Amino acid sequence: MTKNINILDGGFGQAIINKGLNQIGTLWGCSAYLDQKDHQKVIETHLEFINAGSKIITTSNFTIRKRRLAQNKLENKLKEFLEISGKLAQEAVKLSNKNIKIAGSLPTRGETYKSDVFLSDEELLKEFHESASIINPFVDLFYLDVLCSSKEIKLALESIKFFNKQAIVGIHLKNNGKLPSGESIADLKKLLSAYNIRAVIGGCISPEIYQKVSNEFKSLDYEYGFKVNAFENIPDNWSITPNANPNLSLGKRKDLDSNKFVEFCKSAIKDGASFVGGCCEINHNHIKALSNEL
């Protein structure tokens, strides 16, 4: 069962917030970059996942994008915060003395879990490329982090094609198994064929959604898997609440403990998944239990 299984990390932002980080506005876990004294928390959180068994960790910069920074009056901090996220991930890997790959997060540019990006194609490509260029020196590959439409996926892939690094494409899906744009996983097949794809996974989706669409992932002919969350539900009309932990409005499942997570992952691996990990509310204990089992 362990052959070629890539154990990803879990929900970094939630993990660091649960350490007592003082969350500012809509920065979520990236509030740690506002004060140097919180940088150690970032390193420690990466190390928790690495020591639990993660073989690929993701830079923690999901909210470091122009729209979120503008919401928090931090527009001039893009380069500084992205560089910090890359350096701290590298420091954690160095301290671990393990062979760990770093995936550079390229998050959705619009509101989380929605396909509206409020930018022209040219502006969207420019934003992706700017972020990718800053984070590129610190990472081994890229992770398209919870992207919500084929347009966004294509432009993100276009923005990184000259870096000669592979991409894990993280697709967000609604309860109906479709992207927020209304497109299906199968609609992406032709688009993806033009780029250097390492894997295609479900990004911040429930285990139930993954089970519903696993055959569609399989049909893309790439390695596939998931980063599942432990939220109770993500409504189609959900919007972020400033200064609030997302689990207050989305709810935290009580039925997805480490044992249930391992059971789900083992079933998915048996069915062909080779990239397995977690997103929001999946912590290092879940990853450790999975790693121990494998």
- The count of other CB atoms within 10 Å of the CB of residue 213 is 22
Residue 132 is given by DSSP the state H
Helix, strand or coil, per DSSP, at residue 104 = strand
Q: Which residues contact 290 (CB under 8 A, 6 or more apart)?
A: 7, 53, 258, 261, 262, 265, 276
In the chain the domains, ranked by start, together with CATH numbers, are 6-293 (3.20.20.330)
Alpha helices in 53-184 (DSSP H): 66-71, 78-96, 121-135, 150-160
- The model's pLDDT over 193-217, given as tens digits with 9 standing for 90+, comes to 999 999 999 999 999 999 999 999 9
Work out the pLDDT band at 237, boundaries 50, 70, 90: confident
- The model's pLDDT over 30-74, given as tens digits with 9 standing for 90+, comes to 999 999 999 999 999 999 999 999 999 999 999 999 999 999 999
Give yes or no for residue 98 having a pLDDT over 90.
Answer: yes
Q: Tell me the C-alpha distance between 292 and 141, whole Å.
A: 26
Tell me the pTM: 0.96
Calculate mean pLDDT across residues 157-164.
97
Give yes or no for residue 4 having a pLDDT over 60.
Answer: yes
Q: What is the reported pLDDT for 6?
A: 98
Q: What is the reported pLDDT for 3?
A: 60
Calculate mean pLDDT across residues 224-253.
86
Work out the pLDDT band at 243, boundaries 50, 70, 90: low
Q: What is the reported pLDDT for 1?
A: 43
Give yes or no for residue 274 having a pLDDT over 80.
Answer: yes
Q: Tell me the C-alpha distance between 228 and 286, whole Å.
A: 11
Percent of the chain surpassing pLDDT 90: 88
Top pLDDT among 241 and 145 is at: 145
Q: Tell me the C-alpha distance between 152 and 230, whole Å.
A: 25
Q: What is the reported pLDDT for 152?
A: 97
- The model's pLDDT over 161-197, given as tens digits with 9 standing for 90+, comes to 999 999 999 999 999 999 999 999 999 999 999 999 9
- The model's pLDDT over 16-31, given as tens digits with 9 standing for 90+, comes to 998 999 989 999 999 9
The chain-wide mean pLDDT, for the chain, equals 95
Q: Which residues contact 139 (CB under 8 A, 6 or more apart)?
A: 59, 86, 89, 102, 103, 104, 165
Q: What is the reported pLDDT for 247?
A: 77
57-91 exposure pattern, b = at least 16 Cβ within 10 A, e = fewer: bbbbbbbbbbbbbeebebeebbeebbbbbbbbbbb
Give yes or no for residue 270 having a pLDDT over 50.
Answer: yes
